[in-house]
Structure 1
Amino acid sequence: MKDVIYDAYLGRIQRGELTPDDRLVDTAIAAEFEVSRMPVRDALMRLTHEGYLASTTRGFTLPTLEPRQILEIFELRRLLEPRAAALATHELTADDFERMQQAVTLSESTLETGDIEALYRASEDIRRTWVMAVPNAELRDTIQRYMVQIQAVRMATLRDTQAHRVLVAFHRRMLETFKSRRSADVELLLMRFVLAGEDSYLRVSGREADTE
């Protein structure tokens, strides 16, 4: 049962269903799955060991990262994601493109609605679609792990109007570039995408001066 609970909560984390304000308490989860606390604790401790959760005196939460850690993760993204996306280019299927198209349509609709949660879901759907197409399993798993760790950062930047517009434009370009099957263009676009995300974080957090 601990594996079932682990898989269930890993999925919820990766789909963005948990927020930094959520606290996972073993007794509540045990009641949800109708089991004792032991398999729940085992599952939550495994997620903590793998970096998906942090343990506190009041339960388990998504990790809180220091600014230094966030910038280091952006550096890791610059090193890994452009190449990973290039590798995924020729692996994406017609169904993948249909899912991405639906997500892009949702993303573009948020320019009118201002629905940040919908924008987040669209962004996650696009990212998850191309990441799952990466043929290198170790590379794919690494990207999934660190992206979970900066969900709070992404939610904060998405609420910025300028970052919102930039992200929506990138979503459309990303779909079109993937569909072109030109891996070099995909690699370049993903580098620009990561850099834009880092610029948004630095601007929203007011940390430009710290990096000069």
Structure 2
Amino acid sequence: MRAEIVDGTLTPGASLVEITLAERYGTSRTPVREALRRLQQDGLVERADRGMRVRTRSPEEILEIYEARIALEATAAAGAAQRRSDFDLVRLARAHKAMIATPASDAAAMAEANRALHEAIWSASHNGTIVDLLTRLNNHLTRYPQTTLSAPGRWDEAIAEHAEIIEAIGERDADRAYGLAREHMTKARELRLRIYADDTDT
């Protein structure tokens, strides 16, 4: 069900009726009910007048998600600069090298490489609460499947921005890491809003 919500098979606003879903997936209503509960926690479905539905998309939600994500990503980068280990730096360098090797023609691979690098930064912060919150926010963004990294020139720009963030973390410059991460995620927000506007205009 999660996969069908993310890939758009179950469209935003679609009604999610337990008995219908149970028949669709060849199971009883109990696991369907549990799945819906977990998907609601992850922000992928919401309560409607009658039962549940796939959560709708909106520019307001994008702004809400990124308002939180910008602050948390910046805090994670600053925390990484303060608490990173040598092993964390190895993981960051490896993740960045994987990004560089990823072809800009493969949107899914770009998104995965980008996520891996961000997760390496979160891990280097050694703050489990921030990791948990950012993971939940990323779950919300899976309902907006188009990656901002596909925008012309953005992939190379993101690679360069990540290099600067990693450099600041390596130098234990928390203020610089915070500012660079904040700027990086602010650009992502503006691109996400532009993509949403373009999609709704077509």
> Normalising to structure 1: TM-score of the pair?
0.69
Indicate if the aligned counterparts of 2:96 and 2:162 stay in contact, CA closer than 8 A: yes
How far apart are 1:48 and its partner, in Å?
A: 2.3
- CA spacing shift, 1:68–1:52, aligned 2, 3 Å: closer
- CA spacing shift, 1:161–1:64, aligned 2, 3 Å: farther
How far apart are 1:47 and its partner, in Å?
A: 1.6
Q: Say yes or no: does 1:19 pair with 2:6.
A: yes
Q: Say yes or no: does 1:108 pair with 2:95.
A: no
Aligned to 2:128: 137
Q: Deviations over 1:58-82 (max 9, x none)?
A: x986x54311110122222233321
- CA spacing shift, 1:39–1:153, aligned 2, 3 Å: closer
Q: Deviations over 1:109-154 (max 9, x none)?
A: 23x5522222111111111122234344333322221122113447
Aligned to 1:80: 72
Distance 1:100 1:30 in 2: 43
Q: Say yes or no: does 1:68 pair with 2:60.
A: yes
Distance 1:27 1:95 in 2: 48
How far apart are 1:84 and its partner, in Å?
A: 2.8
Tell me which amino acid in the other structure corresponds to 2:78.
A
Q: Say yes or no: does 1:92 pair with 2:75.
A: no
Q: Which has the higher contact order (CA 8 A, sep 6+)?
A: 2
Indicate if the aligned counterparts of 2:77 and 2:177 stay in contact, CA closer than 8 A: yes
Distance 1:183 1:166 in 2: 22
How far apart are 1:95 and its partner, in Å?
A: 3.3
How far apart are 1:204 and its partner, in Å?
A: 3.3
Percent sequence identity over aligned pairs: 23
CA RMSD for the aligned pairs? Answer: 3.5
Q: Say yes or no: does 1:159 pair with 2:146.
A: no
Distance 1:180 1:60 in 2: 47
Moved over 6 A (4+): 27-31
Q: Deviations over 1:52-111 (max 9, x none)?
A: 432699x986x543111101222222333212321232333333333322221222223x
Q: Which of 176, 186, 197 pairs up with 1:195?
A: 186
Distance 1:129 1:69 in 2: 26
- CA spacing shift, 1:64–1:180, aligned 2, 3 Å: farther
- CA spacing shift, 1:29–1:133, aligned 2, 3 Å: farther
Q: Which of 38, 41, 45 pairs up with 2:30?
A: 38
List runs of 5+ in structure 1 lacking aligned partners.
Answer: 1-8, 208-212
Distance 1:173 1:30 in 2: 50
Distance 1:203 1:19 in 2: 20
Q: Say yes or no: does 1:47 pair with 2:38.
A: yes
List runs of 5+ in structure 2 lacking aligned partners.
Answer: 11-15
Distance 1:127 1:22 in 2: 28
